[in-house]
Amino acid sequence: MTGARRQAADGSCTGPSVDLTAAGGPYSILENDFMANAGDGYPNFSSRMATLDLMDQVVADYVATSSPLSPTIQGRIACTDSDPAAAPACS
pLDDT in tens, 53-78: 777 788 889 999 998 988 888 888 77
Cβ 82 vs Cβ 89: under 8 Å? yes
pTM of the predicted structure, to 2 decimals:
0.35
3-state secondary structure of 39: helix
| Alpha helices per DSSP H over 1-89 | 33-36, 55-66
> Is 45 exposed, middle or buried (CB count within 10 Å of its CB: 0-12, 13-18, 19+)?
middle
> What pLDDT, in 10s, does the model give residues 11-55?
888 888 888 787 777 777 777 778 878 888 877 877 877 777 777
